[in-house]
Structure 1
């Protein structure tokens, strides 16, 4: 073998060894991380107060008076460009209509009564007072009907308000079912009426510690979980970190997965669709160039919130009009991207201005917009990524509800690389990112069907003992 031959042999050997290592690293499952238990409140750790205290929303009148003053004295809007509808963000013509409704027709005291319709509580966990809604079914249930605990998680720019129409659909028995739900809906830490962390490093993984402790404190060692947006990431992480507690998970954003394997699968599907695509609706992900172009267009907020959350938070926390524009624009585009072409943003096809302003008000009266967007910075960083949670499969039974107008819907074969025990995946030819808010009956029915399957899987074992 001459010099050139030896050189080729050496280079080829190095390439083979490198490729082997890459493939091994790709398919190796990282160990499940052990999270440090930290105090997230201000100052040094204090003695924990585990009391569960009733809570009622009661906003001081001075906050409402200040809001009216700011609404009535906002600066003149910059006129929108001709014919752009919502493509440049919230059209100020539409915003003017919403602000007028807010000033003249929206009645917070009436809405406060509505928001207080369900029992609410607070409890301190790791230095943070966590707000949650807790609704139990009627005490006069038939003897054969079991009560199953389920915790529901919202995301950004949503709140617990999204679940107000879902809660009664889950706590009222369904004909032919031998179970009903006890529903817990927390405000994520830093959102609404829950405390925000006072120290950096509090990301979605750390949140799951809080929520597992919350369920344990309520007497539920085993329970079901459901979420969308940030809630979808939270239930995914809980499925990894607490499989001994989670009986099953339901997500209406299963497609928010991100690992090397899923990216490779998507690339393979763009060349050999039959290897990845199982149903016609799954073709919507292709061509990838169009999907990624749309995601890039709609993710500008994500970059600034991941890098400078406090800067953008100052402006949003100071101007209720700016806050409404920033939040409500998402309820247009993320519900249906085609609504960008509409002068009215399509909003009242699925929501009312009252519904949307309820959600905005939760951010405004609590001054929580800055702390809510910090979650992006706390997630997209080296510390969180070093946990490798994206690369660890979820082994607990899982169910996905995919809605036509969600920002992205992945094929089931791709989803199964993360949710390896996927027992249900339903596609709906309607709906978008805020499924609980937009289509509560459909989402609730999907949860019922999923948990019925989960219960069959758990039958005959001790896993369904709460």
Structure 2
């Protein structure tokens, strides 16, 4: 394994007291609309039919204002190990946890929107140095997408998923990892797919929770359950993507609200946690409120509401329909995921599927919703990939 280059620099997160005071002041002075006109007692997912219910938002804003501790999360990031490296003309932030094991394999984990590196901090230590010696170990790298978190905000167009995948390859090479495994979900799943498809000499294999099939495939021969998946995915793309269309066409316009109003930012992101999490009513049934606020506060303090939205402008519907992935691939499709493609369709893109899982529980944020299962499934999937080589 090569030594990392000198361009990699240590980084520590430390929000100023002024920024935290400003956040609390804005939360205290928030102007809220009247309540929604859908009135149903909890628990009932239909309470969210018009968006985030007022009572739910007021309760979470109150906790954010008086009870949430950003410094605790900030310290966790710093303990894991944070760094920045310049890739092309952009500074990229990443967490990096080297394993103490000599048999450890490099692994890059990529988040999506409205996620962040916060999705993975509860599993990084266990991936790097598992408590059980029989478990595989990894050198874990978790970058922040361009325009997200502590990565730089692109000042020109062009930073779509293809360029991000190429940047991740360069980052891993800078860290001394010429060959590595990759995992991702949401936009991170797209980046991971591109890594496996474009760079098979460097990528040992991939695991993803979103395996987008090529377009225009027939439903002939699919089982009833597989047809249901295609209908649900079709419904998502045609009925529930107003947020994506807004960010793909007018990211700057929505960005003003997301950078200026913490309550607006929270509502915009919480709505997705609610709709995409496997629960019967509120995302807080499955995800601790501190984990959601870690993510939202990271967006707030780094002022990345607009810059993160631009990944939709750069990459919406841009995955190359002819891209094929020939490296070993493991795919896990959670039941409440927003995009679910049947295996016969996925196999048209992912040519060597070595593991296929459809768990009984979980949604779009499995590392937060079902962290124990997610960790075991990820390790087992990566083990199957390595065994297939």
Tell me if 1:68 matches 2:24: yes
**What CA distance in whole angstroms lies between the structure 2 residues aligned with 1:324 and 1:315?**
11
Q: What's 1:276 paired with?
A: 222
Q: How does 1:137-216 map to 2 (within 5 A)?
A: 137-138=99-100, 141=101, 146-173=103-130, 175=132, 177=134, 179-216=136-173
Displacement of 1:169 after TM fit?
2.6
Tell me if 1:80 matches 2:39: no
Is 1:249–1:396's contact at 8 Å kept on the other side of the alignment?
yes
| Cα deviation digits, residues 114-148 of structure 1 (max 9, x gap) | 3323111111111111111011223xx4xxx6110
Is 1:331–1:347's contact at 8 Å kept on the other side of the alignment?
yes
Q: Who wins on radius of gyration, i.e. which is larger?
A: 1
3-state SS of 2:177 partner: coil
Displacement of 1:176 after TM fit?
6.7
**What CA distance in whole angstroms lies between the structure 2 residues aligned with 1:368 and 1:115?**
18
Q: What's 1:296 paired with?
A: 238
Displacement of 1:282 after TM fit?
3.2
Q: What's 1:417 paired with?
A: 348
Query: Normalized against structure 1, the TM-score is what?
Result: 0.78
Displacement of 1:177 after TM fit?
3.8
Task: Report the RMSD for the aligned CA atoms in angstroms.
Answer: 1.9
Query: Normalized against structure 2, the TM-score is what?
Result: 0.92
**What CA distance in whole angstroms lies between the structure 1 residues aligned with 2:376 and 2:284?**
24
Displacement of 1:168 after TM fit?
2.2
Q: What's 1:41 paired with?
A: none
Tell me if 1:122 matches 2:79: no
Displacement of 1:174 after TM fit?
6.6
**What CA distance in whole angstroms lies between the structure 2 residues aligned with 1:184 and 1:56?**
16
**What CA distance in whole angstroms lies between the structure 1 residues aligned with 2:337 and 2:126?**
23
3-state SS of 1:195 partner: coil
3-state SS of 1:224 partner: strand
**What CA distance in whole angstroms lies between the structure 2 residues aligned with 1:216 and 1:291?**
36
Aligned length: 379
**What CA distance in whole angstroms lies between the structure 2 residues aligned with 1:308 and 1:50?**
39
Q: CA distance change for structure 1 residues 276 and 219 in 2, over 3 Å: closer, same or farther? A: same
Q: How does 1:7-156 map to 2 (within 5 A)?
A: 51-83=7-39, 85-138=47-100, 141=101, 146-156=103-113
Q: What's 1:310 paired with?
A: 252
Tell me if 1:264 matches 2:217: yes
- Please identify, of 242-251 and 403-412, the stretch whose mean Cα deviation from structure 2 is larger: 403-412
Tell me if 1:353 matches 2:315: no
**What CA distance in whole angstroms lies between the structure 2 residues aligned with 1:394 and 1:147?**
24
Is 2:136–2:379's contact at 8 Å kept on the other side of the alignment?
no
Q: How does 1:435-446 map to 2 (within 5 A)?
A: 435-446=366-377
**What CA distance in whole angstroms lies between the structure 1 residues aligned with 2:20 and 2:206?**
39
Q: What's 1:365 paired with?
A: 301
Structure 2 portions without partners, runs of 5+: 40-45
3-state SS of 2:259 partner: helix
